Amino acid sequence: MQSDTDHPMEEPQDFELVKKLGESRWLARRHADGEIFVARRINDFDEYYKSQHQNPGFLTTKQRHAKGLLDLVYELNFGRQISHIFNHENIVSLAGYLRQKPLNAKPFSDVEATEDYLVWDNCDAGNLEALLVDKNPQVKNRRVFMPESLCWHVLTSVMRALAWAHDGYRHDVDWKAGTHMWTKTDTDWMPILHRAITPASILFQNPRGAELYGQCKLGHWGQAFVSGHPASRHDKGARGEPTISNAFGQIMAPHAEPSHLEATREVSLVEMRKSMDKYTRDGQKNHRMYTLSDEHWALGAVLYRMMTARELPSRDPCAGCAAGCVHVTACADTYCLLEEAESDQLDRWGDLDLDKTCRCDYGGCEHVREVIKMSQCTHPKWGPPCVCAVKCGTKTVNIDDVLAQMDYSKGLLKAVRLLFDWDWKFSARGSVELCGKIDSLYASWKTDTGEGREYVDVRDDARRRFLVLNGLDQTEEKMEDDDSDSASEAST
C-alpha cells in the first residue's frame, strides 16, 4: 500500500487514542498530563487518500479540495491557527491533532494511508438541553425553574465566549488579588458570529475541584461566520481606547437558515450592506442580516427558558399569522417595572410609605406584582400584539412582565433583560461592553446575597488552588487563630 509521502507521519505524537466512542470519535489521552480529550476523525481527507491508490496523478475537484485542506493543516500550520481561535476556557477548544495508521488496515486495500484526528475538549457532563426537561409540565405560572447559580454560570460563561469570538477580548486574571481586566491578544481580530446558540450548543465538563459546576463551554461552531472586517461601534474599547477609525460598518452575516443570501457560500460585505439597506430603508424583512443583537437575543432566549421552563417566541415575524405578527414584546425602557417598584411610594399625607416601596433583593415580590396591576407605563413597546384577522393562536409574551415576577435576584433579572435590549439595525453595543455589565451584576450577587456567597464557581476553585500552590493561602491559619482566640476567651 502506497504511503502518504506528501505528509509523512509526525513523531512524537502528543496524544494517543484510548477508547472508541463512535464511527469517527475516540477518547484521546494527552501524554504530558494524562488529561482526556475527544478526538474526531477528519473524514474530508479520505477522498484524497483513495486517489493515491485508485488513480495516482489525477485528482477530481473534491479530491483537490481534500488535498488543499490537508496542506493547510500540515504544511501551512493551519491547525495552529485554528487552535489559536478556538482557545478559550468557555469555548470547546482545539487542543491539537494527531495522525496514525489505521488500526484495522488490510494489505493492498483502498483504505486511507493514515487517519487524521482533531483533538477537542472533552465536555463529559453533557449539554444544557438535557437539563431542561420539565418533569412537572402541568405547573402553571412557575416562578423558578433552574437554580440561580446555574443561570449565572451559563450567562457569564457564554458571554465571555462571545466577547472572545466577537471582539477578541478575554479576561486576564490576577489570581493573587482575585481581580481581572480585559486584554486583547490580536489587534487584527476578525469577529466571528456563532449563529447557532441554543441549549444544545452549551456544554459542560464535570467539576475538577471544589466548584459546584464544571466549566461551561460554547460549542457546535459548524454554522459560524467570520465577518472578515472589524466593526465600528459607538462605545469605547475595553480599556477606554477609541475604536478603529477606518472600521466602517457593523458585524453581520447571512442568517444560518436558508434565505436570499446563501448562508453556506462566501458573501461579500458589499452584498450584506446592500441587503441590510433594503431592510432598514424599505422594510424588506427577509433582507435583515444576522448581527450581534441576534447572538445576544439567542442567549437571552436560553436564559428565559432556564428560568421559566418555557420557550420564548421568535422575534422574527410569525409565519402562521397573515400579517406576520411578532409574539414577543417589552417596554422600550429596559428596567421599567423594577424601577417603578423601587421608586419612592408616598402615602396620602405625602410621606414615604416603606411598605409600598420595594427594597427587596429578589423579583416576584408583592411590590412588583402590585406595580404590574397598577402600572401606567406609557413608554413605547416593541413588538405590538397580533392584529391580523388570521391568528395562529400563539400567545404574545411580555418579557418585562414575565421576568419581573420570577423568584430570582434582581441582579439576574436585570442581566438577562440586557440581552433583549436589542438594536438589530446598528448593533452599537459590543459584547465586551455587555459582558462587563453582566459581570458587574454577577459580582454584586456573589457578595450581596447568601446564595451568592456560598456559591463556588470555577474561578473560585482555580484561585484557591493558585494560593495553595504558591503558599499564599491564609484561610486555614486564620481559622486556627480564630479558634485559639475563642478558646482563650471561653477559658477566661
Say if residue 60 is in the same domain as residue 207: no
- CA 152 to chain centroid, in Å, comes to 12
Taking the C-alpha atoms of residue 401 and residue 4, their distance in angstroms, rounded to an integer, is: 63
Say if residue 180 is in the same domain as residue 88: no
Which of 67, 89, 120 delimits the end of a domain?
A: 120
Residues 6+ apart with CB under 8 A from 139: 309
C-alpha cell of residue 153: 454560570
Say if residue 92 is in the same domain as residue 136: no
Instruction: Report yes or no on 188 lying in a domain.
Output: yes
Backbone torsion region of residue 350, taken as left when φ is above 0, otherwise alpha when ψ lies between -120 and 50, otherwise beta: left
Say if residue 57 is in the same domain as residue 162: no
C-alpha cell of residue 440: 458587574
Residues 6+ apart with CB under 8 A from 143: 364, 405, 406, 407
Residues 6+ apart with CB under 8 A from 144: 307, 406, 407, 408
Instruction: Report yes or no on 319 lying in a domain.
Output: no
Query: Which amino acid is it at 64?
Result: R
Say if residue 181 is in the same domain as residue 283: yes
Straight-line distance from the first to the last Cα atom of the chain, in angstroms, rounded to the nearest whole number: 88
Say if residue 154 is in the same domain as residue 188: yes
Query: What Rg value do the Cα atoms of the chain yield, rounded?
Result: 27
Say if residue 292 is in the same domain as residue 210: yes
Q: What is the pTM of this model?
A: 0.81
**Domains: count for the chain:** 2
Closest alpha carbon to 39 in 111, 97, 92, 83: 97
Say which DSSP state 437 is in. Answer: H
- What are the backbone angles phi and psi of residue 312, rounded to the nearest 5°? -80, 135
Say if residue 186 is in the same domain as residue 211: yes
Say if residue 230 is in the same domain as residue 81: no
The CB density around residue 254, as the number of other CB atoms within 10 Å, is: 22
Say which DSSP state 223 is in. Answer: T
Strands 397-398 and 328-331: what pairing? parallel
Question: Within a 13 Å sphere around the CA of 452, how many CA atoms are in the beta-carbon half?
Answer: 18
Instruction: Report yes or no on 338 lying in a domain.
Output: no
Which of 89, 120, 151 delimits the end of a domain?
A: 120
Which of 120, 144, 178 delimits the end of a domain?
A: 120
Backbone torsion region of residue 57, taken as left when φ is above 0, otherwise alpha when ψ lies between -120 and 50, otherwise beta: left
Closest alpha carbon to 430 in 236, 181, 221: 236
Instruction: Report yes or no on 419 lying in a domain.
Output: yes
Report pLDDT digits (tens) over 195-206.
Answer: 999 999 999 999
Tens-digit pLDDT string for the chain (492 aa):
334 444 444 456 889 999 999 888 899 999 999 999 999 887 655 555 565 555 556 666 666 666 666 666 666 566 666 777 888 999 999 888 887 776 665 554 544 556 788 899 999 999 999 999 877 777 777 789 999 999 999 999 999 999 999 989 999 999 999 999 999 887 778 889 999 999 999 999 999 999 999 999 999 998 888 876 664 444 444 445 444 333 445 677 777 665 555 544 566 666 666 666 666 555 556 667 778 888 999 999 999 999 999 999 888 777 777 777 788 888 887 888 888 877 755 454 545 555 667 888 888 888 888 877 776 677 677 766 666 767 777 788 889 889 999 999 999 999 999 999 876 555 556 899 999 999 999 999 999 999 999 999 999 999 999 999 999 865 544 444 444 455 445 444
How many residues belong to the chain?
Answer: 492
Q: Give residue 83's pLDDT.
A: 74
- CA 196 to chain centroid, in Å, comes to 10
Helices (H) and strands (E) in the chain, counts: 14, 16
Closest alpha carbon to 217 in 202, 200, 199, 198: 202
Query: Which amino acid is it at 397?
Result: V
Identify the domain containing residue 75 by its residue range: 15-120
Instruction: Report yes or no on 417 lying in a domain.
Output: yes
Instruction: Report yes or no on 361 lying in a domain.
Output: no
Say if residue 141 is in the same domain as residue 200: yes
CATH of the domain at 116: 3.30.200
Question: Within a 13 Å sphere around the CA of 467, how many CA atoms are in the beta-carbon half?
Answer: 16
Instruction: Report yes or no on 363 lying in a domain.
Output: no
Say if residue 302 is in the same domain as residue 166: yes
Closest alpha carbon to 59 in 45, 38, 80: 45
CATH of the domain at 235: 1.10.510.10
Say if residue 182 is in the same domain as residue 81: no
Instruction: Report yes or no on 385 lying in a domain.
Output: no
